[in-house]
Amino acid sequence: MTYLTTPVVERIAVRFKVIAEVRDRDVHAESTPRLGGLAMFLGLMTGLLLASKLPKMGSVFGQADTPYALLSAATVIVLLGIVDDKWGLDAPVKLAGQVLAAGLMALQGISVIWLPFGGTFVVDPVTSVLLTVLIVLVSINAINFVDGLDGLAAGIVAVAAGAFFAYSYLLSVELGIARATLATLVSVLLVGMCVGFLPHNTFRARIFMGDTGSMLLGLLLAAATITLTGQIDPSVVAGPALLPTLLPLLIPLAVMAVPLVDLVLAVIRRTRAGRNPFAPDKQHLHHRLLEMGHSQQRAVLLMYAWTGLIAGTAVAVAFVPVGWALAGGALGLGLLIWAVLRPSVSKATPSGHLKTGTLR
């Protein structure tokens, strides 16, 4: 559905002038329509509707309001993104909208309910909502920051969501519980949304996802991790095939490692320079790869590979002997370092795009 509706959304964006114009700090060379996140949202709604009709998904849709919590929060974030993509919003206004969406989701049942302190520490309702909002805000803005080259954010989220789907599904198998969970559903929907959008968004992109897309992807990735790691009792996770209690918390960090590292480095860099942490610049990880001489396509593939390596190694550690998982990770790390240090061209070419918006 995302693949089929993206050209329609592209025409809508052109019709209503929702366009990313070329500016001095941008990488893309031509004005390009954005709002691609709207097609992703249509894909999400279609996937949820289809899943709700499947008999074996009754455990997800029949016993809780969490799918509706997810959809209501996604609707708020998409409306916020559409307004921002069209007119541009100040950082405080956008942040308030993100808090509203996250709070709405938390109050309807998608929230953190325990912390791994002293065994299983169940948090009170207020703390639960606050932690959930914090996780969602970090996830949204991490994806927002990394959305800087054609196909980069969609590909990274597809890889990350695929790894998290594998973890959540295999965990269900290990624990002998239902495979059909909200975490596995959201993860696989994310993969489909991103894969459907990528043919229109890879170099040279015909349409950008805009903040409508990046914020939606961040929200859904956070929802997937919260529904699994924030609601499963960690005491039942530890077993002969799994690492101990902290693993359910470490997996989401590994899955989102590349966007999170980029976010943290950007905040530190800008704060040390006396600038607003959300002020845009051209020193993100993908920009550094371009400066090293990598082409845009190669830089994007390297970022995919880093995401896959970190997330894949973390998932492998959970289900195979640690030695084998770490050996494979070390081999992949060596190959990736070699690839990073051997740029494909002698000079970076500013042929991609830097997403517009206030929060990056």
Q: What string of pLDDT tens digits covers the 360 residues of the chain?
A: 999 999 999 999 999 999 988 765 556 668 899 999 999 999 999 999 999 999 888 888 876 678 889 999 999 999 999 999 999 999 899 999 999 999 999 999 899 887 665 555 678 889 999 999 999 999 999 999 898 899 999 999 999 999 999 988 888 887 777 788 899 999 999 999 999 999 999 988 999 999 999 999 999 999 998 888 655 655 555 444 445 445 666 778 888 899 999 999 988 998 988 888 877 778 888 889 988 989 889 999 999 999 999 999 988 887 888 889 889 999 999 999 999 998 865 444 444 444 433 333
The predicted structure's pLDDT at residue 150: 93
Is the distance from CB of 140 to CB of 221 less than 8 angstroms? no
Instruction: Say how far apart CA 328 and CA 308 lie, in whole Å.
Output: 12
pLDDT tens readout for residues 117-129:
555 567 888 999 9
The predicted structure's pLDDT at residue 249: 67
The predicted structure's pLDDT at residue 353: 43
DSSP H or E run through 32: strand 32-33
Q: Where are the domains of the chain?
A: 2-340
Geometric angle at alpha carbon 16, from 13 and 21, rounded to 5°: 65
The predicted structure's pLDDT at residue 344: 65
Question: In the chain, which residue ranges form alpha helices assigned H by DSSP?
Answer: 2-15, 37-52, 58-61, 66-87, 91-107, 125-146, 152-175, 182-201, 210-229, 247-255, 257-272, 285-291, 296-319, 322-340
Supply the pTM of this predicted model.
0.89
The predicted structure's pLDDT at residue 241: 40
The predicted structure's pLDDT at residue 79: 98
The predicted structure's pLDDT at residue 5: 98
DSSP string, 115-165: ESSSS-EEPPHHHHHHHHHHHHHHHHHHHHHH--STTHHHHHHHHHHHHHH
The predicted structure's pLDDT at residue 318: 79
End-to-end CA distance of the chain: 27
pLDDT tens readout for residues 296-336:
899 999 999 999 999 999 888 878 888 898 899 999 999 99
